[in-house]
Amino acid sequence: MAITKLKALGVTDGTLTNTQINASAAIAKSKLGALDIVNADVNASAAIAGSKLTLSNDQITRDNLDTKLNQLEPVWTDMVTLSSANHTHQIIDEYGRRVNAQNGNNGPSGRARIRGETGTGNFRVKFQLGTLWGWSEIHFAVPSNYNDATKHNGGDYPTYHTASQPTGKIHFFVANNGSNNIRYFNYWNGSSVSTQSTVSGGTSNTMNIWRSDGTIYWYDSSSTHTLATSSTDNFIVYAGLQSPSFVRLLDASSYAGKAQ
C-alpha cells in the first residue's frame, strides 16, 4: 500500500494499531522486530518441535528421556529386608545376579527388583527359582501397583505390590516350592485370575518369561504356556522370597526382536 494512502487513512509513523491490520495480512518476521514472547503468548495446543527447545537439567523428566535409558538390565537392585533381616544377612549375591535367603524356615529374608522396566513392547527375563523349602517367586507389576519400599525408613516392609489383585490392572507371578513339590503361575487380568500348576517343584528350574508381539509366554523348564495376549503393559519385575529360597537372574532385556 502506498504511503500516501496510509496517510489518508490517518496512519502516521508509530500509530498503526492491531485493529488496522487485516487478519489475513502476511507480515514478514523481520518486520516484527525483537518481540519478548512469554509463556502466555503460546497457545496451549501449539505444536513446537523438540529441536526448538533447550531444556535445563531441572526440566528433564522421565517422559523426556529415551525409553532405552530405562530398559531391563540383568541385575537386582532396590533391596529391602524382611522377617528381621539386618546387615549380617547378605540378600543379594553372585555379583548382583541372585537374591538369596537361606536362613532357616521362615527366617530373615528380603526382596529386590530387576533394574529398569519391561516397556510396552517385547522383553525377555530368563531366571532360575529355588527348589528349597520356601517359596521362590518372580512378580510382574505395573508401575501404578508398585510401592517402592526403599523409600520407607526403618522396619520391615511386607511387599512391593500394593495389591495382588488390583482392579483394572495386570499382576502376575511364577512360584516354585521344593517342600510342596509344586510350580505354578498366577495371572490376574484386572478382574479375574487364572492359575495352573505345571511341573514338579524339584525339577530343572531354568525358565523364561517373554513377550513377543503382545503375547506373554512362560517356559517352565519343560513346557511353554501362554499367559496373555494383546498385552501392552509396562512392568516392574521383582523377586519374592520365603526363606530358604532364591531367584537367580540369568538374563533380562527389553528388545525389538521376536525370538525367545
Q: Where are the domains of the chain?
A: 72-254
**pTM reported for the whole predicted model:** 0.72
Q: How confident is the model at residue 12 (pLDDT cuts 50, 70, 90)?
A: low
Question: What percentage of the chain exceeds 90 in pLDDT?
Answer: 50
Distance (Å, whole) CA 174 – CA 46 = 47
- Asked if residue 164 has pLDDT above 90, the reply is no
Average pLDDT over residues 44-54: 71
pLDDT of residue 39: 74
Q: What is the pLDDT of residue 201?
A: 82
Give the architecture (CATH level 2) of 72-254.
Sandwich (2.60)
Out of 65-79, 151-165, 229-243, give the one with best mean pLDDT. Answer: 229-243
205 CB neighbour count, 10 Å cutoff: 20
Report the range out of 3-17, 34-48, 218-232 with the highest average pLDDT.
218-232
Residue 185 has pLDDT above 80, yes or no: yes
Span 237-247, pLDDT tens digits:
999 999 999 99
Average pLDDT on 156-181 reads 83
With a pLDDT cut of 70, the percent of the chain lying above it is 76
Q: How confident is the model at residue 186 (pLDDT cuts 50, 70, 90)?
A: very high
Is the pLDDT confidence value at 225 over 70? yes
Confidence of residue 37 (pLDDT cuts 50, 70, 90): confident
